[in-house]
Amino acid sequence: MVDDLHLGQIIKNNNLYKELIGGKFGIELEAHRVSKEGRLSRINHSAKLGSRRMHPYLQTDYSETQAELVTEPVGSFEEARDRLLQLQWVLRHHMTDDESIWPLSMPPQLKKDDLQWLDETFERSWVQDYRDWLMHKYGSTHEIMTGLHLNYSLPEDLVQHLFTASGADNFNVFKDRVYFHLAQQIVAHQWLFNYLFGATPFNLNDTDSRTPQFSHPVRSLRTSEYGFVNDHGEKLAYSGDYEKYKQQIQQLLSEDKLFSEHEIYGPVRFKKIAADNPSVDYLEIRLVDTNPFDIAGISENELNLIHLLLIYFVINDEELSDSVLQGQDDVANAVSLENPTDTLANKPAALKIMQDISQLADHFGMRFNDGLSLVTDRVLTPSKTPAAKMIAAAPDVATMQEWATNLGNERTAYFEENETALFHEYFGENPLGVTVKDALTVGVRVVSYDGKTVSLRLGSHVENLTEPDDIYRIFPELNIN
């Protein structure tokens, strides 16, 4: 097992702390387009946003209203958030004046005609079979919950250092084990994520038989046993090793219990950049509810804290037994279903982690001060957690629907009044910003952009620009249907 290799000890002995800062970071945000009345929009996904068959950044999910914004992998979570703001600008720019972005993970209230429209309207015919499977198995109300997925990979040179120091004999197997170790640590601490980032205190609909309407608010319905999770008997265990994990998937697929690996709703997914890669390339962390108090759905301070926690999990050599991992599922669920204003039942463990990550942060100067301040505030003062702030603003279902509708409309109005200023804030003052915007719109990859130069890629075609240019002239293949 990886834990026997003592990654934390290797990093300490070789003073590899600075190398831990690097890696690749990405954010995927799901959010619904809604009308000014707070109902799912009936306006089509804009055809100007390129082909959904190939677009790397702007997609839709189960519902035609359910936009999915995916950032390019970049050098920090903060930079990924900047990329996310650019994508949000592009999406808003191509929405009508009658639409806004729904700020909650739980879907807005649905009437009978909304449900009928949801069931019958779907334009991505190439995944229709999968969509039909989900509709009949989970129901439309359940499937349109939204949230954030955070993508994280360790620096390849750090993994190489760890491999060399470990004495292991197969790099790809070792790399898989490192990522499995990290995933196990995340799963074992899911309760902490549910407390710190839970933001789904209410179910706004009674049409989801899987998610009840409680008589009291909770921290995170979405991450609870009633939320966006697989059925009992179809949940994957993160015990053993990566090979055992993959065997569970193959077993469920062979028994026709899952349509495909896309139906794995666990807290962490193992991802490869290419299907034929010999080892895991990064983790997709699926534990974070949308924070309605931040325009991007997640704040810089929250990302700062999550990055520090991930580093802590890498170096945490605590051995996790199968029984401990299995028991943490119940602990995480209990935290999700606590009243948002209650003191965290697992507070002593949270205080110990606060102490540990504070000592860890000393290796990085002031890099993680904002994250440390945030975790201190939220652990010591439950009223500062997102779920508690939400029920302070909207203490019941009806008020929450109204509050979220108004918040979405206010942000739409602010965007319309400040569209040009926000463009310059997100894309920079350099005229190249227009080319970057055009590339994001049609689905050309923006590999890098520092405000002065931009590297663009479509398939194997790469262009490096220092001056703005027409995206269709640079990439004439865009004109080929």
Is 80 exceeded by the pLDDT of residue 1? no
**Domain with 438 in it: what CATH number?**
3.30.920
* Residue listed under structure tokens 């999550």: 306
Determine the Cα–Cα distance for residues 181 and 172; give it in Å rounded to an integer: 14
Report if residue 185 sits inside a domain.
yes
Does 377 share its domain with 449? no
Adjacent-strand bridge partners of 99: 35
Does 344 share its domain with 440? no
- DSSP-derived 3-state class of residue 268: strand
Report if residue 415 sits inside a domain.
no
Does 372 share its domain with 458? no
Contact call for residues 105 and 222 (beta carbons, < 8 A): yes
- DSSP-derived 3-state class of residue 285: strand
**pLDDT category of residue 2 using cuts at 50, 70 and 90:** very low
Tell me which amino acid residue 387 is: A
Q: What is the pLDDT of residue 322?
A: 82
Does 341 share its domain with 227? yes
* Residue listed under structure tokens 């360790």: 154
Report if residue 424 sits inside a domain.
no
398-426 residue pLDDT tens:
999 999 999 999 999 999 999 999 999 99
192-225 residue pLDDT tens:
999 999 999 999 998 888 888 888 999 999 999 9
380, two tokens: 């010591």
Does 225 share its domain with 267? yes
**Beta strands, E only, 318-440:** none
Using alpha carbons, select from 119, 149, 138 the residue that is nearest to residue 228: 138
Does 438 share its domain with 403? no
* DSSP string covering 303-317: HHHHHHHHHHHHH--
* DSSP string covering 32-45: EEEETTSSB--SPP
355-387 residue pLDDT tens:
999 999 999 999 999 999 999 999 999 999 999
- State the average pLDDT over residues 300-325: 93
- DSSP-derived 3-state class of residue 467: coil
Does 31 share its domain with 87? yes
Does 337 share its domain with 404? yes
**Domain with 202 in it: what CATH number?**
3.30.590.20
Q: For the chain, give the percent of residues with pLDDT over 70.
A: 99
Q: Which residues contact 455 (CB under 8 A, 6 or more apart)?
A: 446, 447, 448, 449, 462, 463, 464, 465
Determine the Cα–Cα distance for residues 326 and 308; give it in Å rounded to an integer: 25
Report if residue 426 sits inside a domain.
no
Percentages (nearest 5) of helix, strand, coil residues in the chain: 50, 10, 40
Its domain, for residue 375, covers: 2-408
Does 391 share its domain with 449? no
Q: How many domains does the chain have?
A: 2
